[in-house]
Amino acid sequence: PKLKILLFAGFLGSYVLTVAWNLGLIILIKIDPYLHTPMYFFLSNLSFLDFCYVTSTTPKMLSDFFQKPKAISFLGCTMQYFFFSSLGLTECCLLAAMAYDRYAAICNPLLYTTTMSPPFCVQMMVGAYITGLFGSLIQLCALLQLNFCGPNVINHFFCDLPQLLVLSCSETFFLKVMKFVIAVIFGVISVFVIMISYGYIVATILKISSVEGRSKAFNTCTSHLTAVICFFGSGLFVYMHPSTGNSVGQDKIASVFYTVVIPMLNPLIYSLRNKEIKDALKRCKKRVIFPLLQLKV
C-alpha cells in the first residue's frame, strides 16, 4: 500500500507509452509508401496486437489500485481471459510468420516478391488471427464447464487460466492437460518454426563474402530475435512449468514482463536499429512538421 501511488504512476506511464509508440508506428507504416512491404505489414499487425494485448489487462489493473474491494464479475473475468489469450496466441503465430518472412528475404531474395505476395501475407495474417481465436475459444468453452463454488480471490492482477483453475471446485485435470497442449502447439511449435527459419538464415549469412553484407543481413533479424526471446521466454515459463505455491510470485513477475513491458519495448526494439524506420520518420517530419512551421499567422 505504501507504494501504491508510485506503482500506479509507473504502470500508467508504461501504458501511455505503449499506446503512443504502437499506434505511432502503425500510422507511420500506413502513411509512408516506402514501408509498404511484407516486413512492415507484419510489424504493423504486431503493434496492433501489442496495443490490444496491453489494453485487455492494464486499464482494469490501474483502476484496481484505488478500489476496495478489487472486484471483477465472472463474465468480465472470462471475457478478459478470452481476449488476452486470443491476442497472445495470435502473437505466437505472427512471430513465426515474421521469421518465415526474414527467411524468404535473406535465403531467396530473387523470389521474395513472388513468395511474400500481398495476398499471401494477408492469408498468413488472417490465419494467425483465426488460429489464435480458435485456440482461446476451446479453452474458454472448457473453462465455462467448471464450477466455482469456493474461494473467489484471484491471486494475480488479471484473470489468467492457471489462477482460475486453482479456484475451481471441479476436476481440472483435463483443462490442465489442454493448457499444456495449447502451450506446446502455439509456443513450442512456433519456436521450432522460428529456429528452423533462423538456421537457414544463419547458414545463408555465413556464405556472404562481404562483412558489410553479413552485417546488414544480420541487423534485419536481431530485432525480431530479441522480441521472440523476450515474449516466448516469459510466456513459456508461466504456462509450461507446473504451478506451485512457491512459484506464484515468479509467475506474477513473468506475467508483468510479457503483458506490460514487452508491448512497450517492441516498437523501440524494431525502431532503434532500423534505418528504414528512421528514414521514414525524417520523411514524415518534412511532409508534416516543416509545412506547419512555415504557416503564416
Cis-peptide, bond into residue 242, ω within 30° of zero: no
* The three cell numbers locating residue 44: 504493423
The pLDDT assigned to 66 comes to 85
pLDDT tens, 26-42?
A: 999 999 888 999 999 99
Q: What is the pLDDT of residues 33-91, one digit of tens each?
A: 889 999 999 999 999 999 999 999 999 999 998 888 889 998 999 999 999 999 999 99
pLDDT of residue 260: 87
DSSP annotation of 184: I
Averaged over 252-275, what is the pLDDT?
Answer: 82
Q: What pLDDT band is residue 243 in, cutting at 50, 70 and 90?
A: low
Each residue's pLDDT tens digit, 138-185: 999 999 998 888 788 888 888 988 888 888 888 888 888 888 888 888
pLDDT of residue 46: 93
Among 138, 126, 130, 129, residue whose Cα is nearest residue 81: 138
CA distance 265 to 286: 26
pTM attached to this predicted model: 0.89
Residue 3 has φ and ψ, to the nearest 5°, of -100, 10
Distance CA 256, CA 246 (A): 17
Q: Which residues contact 7 (CB under 8 A, 6 or more apart)?
A: 65
224 closest CA partner among 266, 258, 281, 184: 266
Residue 288 is predicted with a pLDDT of 65
- CATH topology classification for 4-269: Rhopdopsin 7-helix transmembrane proteins (1.20.1070)
The span from the CA of 154 to the CA of 152, in Å, is: 6
CA nearest neighbour of 88 among 53, 112, 60: 53
H/E element, 36: none
Quick one: cell of 24? Answer: 505511432
Burial bucket for residue 281 (CB in 10 Å: 0-12, 13-18, 19+): middle
Query: Which residue type sits at 147?
Result: N
